[in-house]
Copies of this chain bind each other. A is one copy, B any other.
């Protein structure tokens, strides 16, 4: 691992836990196993480094999903595939959502710089919903609600990990990890059950 990589790794960790204002350059240097001078030798300023970490996280979290989804031919397929992909994504960067939300909350301008570059496949979902609702296969639901429902159920337990672990699992790390692992399947079942109209062909 090059020095630059270890700096970025350290910056990711510190920024994502503490936020821009809470992070200390010294802490990032320590975490990277180098000193402050070298840190500035690589990345001139805190803002500079932060901007790299933030946009990296932002770009990874949003558009990654929408890309390979156009293939879905029915809603069930879409839902299962979407949940699978998004779960993979967030498992790799569990702190990113909380980090992004906090920083945008603190400085809404951050969103302006990145707007337009991304999107959710609302149009596709809208079409799938319309077609299958007309065919009596699923309950009609606004695509925005469906998407947000799914994303909420995936992201929130990662963002709220410390609280949930305390309130629901007596701080047992293992019990919580097991809980998280179950969720991909649980959410898929939950969503499909919620939107599917069951046939009564008895």
Contact = CB atoms under 8 A, between A and B. Distances in A.
Interface stretch (A46-54, A127-135, A148-156): A148-156
Interface residues of A, number: 58
A141 B102 contact: no
A166 to B, nearest CB: 6
A108 B161 CA distance: 11
A163 interface: yes
A136 interface: no
A87 to B, nearest CB: 14
Interface of A: 17-22, 62, 95, 98, 100-102, 104-106, 108, 111, 115, 118-120, 122, 139, 141-142, 144-145, 147-149, 151-153, 155-157, 159-160, 162-164, 166-168, 179, 182-183, 186-187, 189-191, 193-195, 198, 200, 202
